[in-house]
Amino acid sequence: MSESFESQFAVAVEDRDAQLMRQMIGQAEFVLLAVTDEDEEDADDGAANVFSTEVDGMDLLVAFTSDDAARNFIELRKDQYKDEDEIGGYILGGETLLEYMPPDHGLYLNPDTDSPLVVDIDLLALVQKAQV
């Protein structure tokens, strides 16, 4: 039985192996969640806000490695959103995710699962610079 992406990636993060992380991210797909509030006046034609958070003073983009992990995250937070808020999911290839990461953000993979993973800003910058 082969190790899951998540467990292999966790080892790469722990080892701070930017080259391996870049290779793994490039071959994976990620789910990003975004909230659209149709009633919000400053929304640009229903523009969505991709989920991000702050952990230990570090801004992190929230992403998931499976639809199930994303659904679980939404289910745990359903009371935090108004009925008019629409939560949508986007599937991105890893290279696209790296290309469009917000500046000065790390990556928070699979929060509220058994194996959440934080890629700090410095390590993510190394991953983005790594050659595949």
**128: which 2 tokens?**
């983005």
- pLDDT beneath 50: ranges in the chain: 1, 43, 45-47
Domains of the chain: 5-129 (3.40.1350)
Q: What is the 3-state secondary structure (H, E, C) of the chain?
A: CCCCHHHHHHHHHHCCCHHHHHHHHHCCEEEEEEEEECCCCCCCCCCCEECEEEECCEEEEEEECCHHHHHHHHHHCHHHCCCCEEEEEEEEEHHHHHHCCCCCCEEEECCCCCCCEEECHHHHHHHHHCCC
| Predicted local confidence at residue 87, as pLDDT | 83
pLDDT tens digit string along 59-94? 999 999 999 999 999 888 878 776 666 788 899 999
Distance CA 50, CA 89 (A): 9
